Amino acid sequence: MPKAKGRTVAESKTEMLEVVLPNDANPLGNILGGKVMHLIDIAGAIAAHRHSHSLVVTAAVDSLDFVHPIRVGEVILLRSQVTRAFRTSMEVEVRVYREDYITGERRQTSSAFATYVAIDSQGQPKLVPPVIPQTVDERRRYREALRRRRRRLAEAAQMHRRYFEK
């Protein structure tokens, strides 16, 4: 099977915007954390789709901290991009911002790295093209992605041993 041609990070870049409405909020008027996680998964999956030109499934999401609240009436902005592709999986960085559409003030509220696996029509893992990092920042993220992957795999193996090998 011929090796897939690589794709640049720019080819996977995705931006999503949504106004936070009252039905998205908790009693304090802040967007629900679960809603943010849902949007992170969607934005990440779109970037993975764009890179792989394939169906994808979510395999993992790294820790997620909510640093600043996003209030009802503000805009939630999500930016995602594939940082590195492995054999069948891709790491996607998703950054979340709040934006006051009246003042234009924008502030990052959270970020996450999510892993997606490309699948074929039978649900089996499928090879993905490599990432071609072009900027200094993209090359740094590309290198860091390998360290994060190694950590994830080690943690997954440890969890498997703890919970499934009793």
The band of 2, judged by pLDDT with boundaries at 50, 70 and 90, is: very low
| Mean pLDDT value of segment 65-78 | 96
pLDDT at residue 6 tops 60: yes
Q: Exposed, middle or buried by CB within 10 Å (0-12, 13-18, 19+), for 85?
A: buried
pLDDT digits (tens, 9 = 90+) for 106-150: 999 999 999 999 999 999 999 999 999 999 999 999 999 999 999
Domains of the chain: 7-164 (3.10.129.10)
Question: Which of the pair, 32 or 1, is modelled with greater confidence?
Answer: 32
pLDDT digits (tens, 9 = 90+) for 9-45: 999 999 999 999 999 999 999 999 999 999 999 999 9
The band of 4, judged by pLDDT with boundaries at 50, 70 and 90, is: low
Percent of the chain with pLDDT over 90: 85
Residue 110 contacts residue 64 (beta carbons within 8 Å): yes
pTM of the predicted protein model: 0.91
Give the pLDDT confidence score for residue 83 in this predicted structure: 98
Question: Which of the pair, 154 or 33, is modelled with greater confidence?
Answer: 33
